[in-house]
Structure 1
Amino acid sequence: MIKINFAGIRTFSFVDYPKKICAVVYTPGCNFKCPWCHNWKIAYTKNYSSMEEIHVLNKLIYLKKRISAVCITGGEPTIHSYLPKFIQKLKHLRYSVKLDTNGTNPEMVKCLIENNMIDYIALDIKAKPENYSKLIGKNDYLFFKISRTIDILRNSTIDYEFRMTFVPGLSNEEDINFFENFLKDEEKGYITIANSTELFQVKRQYSDFNINKLILR
């Protein structure tokens, strides 16, 4: 039997699932190495306290009296083959499930949607394709996979959103323009400004955005 470990759980959140109070489950590891990542310890180090699946599920069984939803985030959850089976257990507990993803595993996303295991997806758009490597800390060109995930969402009936983190010093106005032009009229697009971490110092030179479709949060 595969031993499944998580990077932790936050038992109460008002902001991680639209219109629902949720718990947040963190998966370890990521196929990106974003230098500005605020979850960098669980994304690309081993410097965190792991939690076995049984302990996560026991907490969620107890929390069912108070909350109705779970957000799965990371790291990048879709790099883990155990994700569908874990989500099945959440659905057996009658939780609504939201997935945060970078979009690089379209096959996993398609599987989750087609098997009715997911209720909401938040997909990160890091930058315009030409600027992706700077934001994700790798030279791998993965936007073709992200584009496939975008198409899967757009051709599904699932509720979803797109979001971008603007990183002063790495992001630029062209990234914002790309994101706004990319969005369809009925789609939800959000943008936030990155905060400094122990590894990356951001400059606050961008405080006012010339945005039309995007919502700053």
Structure 2
Amino acid sequence: MDIHSQVLRQLNNRREGFSLEQPFYIDPDYYKLDLEMIWYRDWLFVGHDCEIPKAGNYVTLQIGDYPVLVLRTREGEIRAFHNTCRHRGHRVCTKDSGSATRLVCPYHQWTYQHDGTLMSARHMGDDFDKKQFGLKPVHCESVAGYIFVCLANEAPDFAPVRATIQPYMAPHRLAETKVAAKNTIIEKGNWKLVWENNRECYHCAANHPELCRTYPEAPTATGVQGAGDDPFISEHWQR
């Protein structure tokens, strides 16, 4: 049985209210399929507008096998590219974040404009067409201060994402904020474990007492039981 059929069979037979079967969390082939079917096809949140407030500011990240560069152009536009030089595949920007008037590959000094076009490639000959060797673009959208990218050749429609986020986040004007501090946490586990943990608060009372103290007196607001029916939460989401 091929991996696609095996995964579909297990998903179709899984028990409601129970975790997925073990291979979904530890099998390298399942993880590879996750990347191909989910991470490389859909829109992913990668940062905030305020992280790159000025022209030439950039951040880099790794999505599976693909290094990605997100930067603000001289025109103020937020663009994303594969962070891979078109010459020998070296990473163009090697830092997590920074600022650059031009994007210069440290290997052979191929130099790119903020819009990804190749402006300089030494000793390549008179017949070399720089227009054919710009950085490969990545689909990029910004909504209410949140930046999303999609690695697919043809990205899904971003309109539903925008319609969901805009009403809730636009009033906070995140694009006008400044980054006061930044921490990086590497979760040593499969992404589904991290997501499942984030989506429930059954563990909050024992593990996050500081967080629980910010909740209202109503115990259901911790998410342990019937949070959707809690009048405080209902009133909040109706504002």
Q: TM-score range by the shorter chain?
A: under 0.3
TM-score, normalised by the number of residues in structure 1: 0.21
**Structure with bigger RCO (C-alpha 8 Å, 6+ apart):** 1
TM-score, normalised by the number of residues in structure 2: 0.20
- Flag the structure with larger Rg: 2
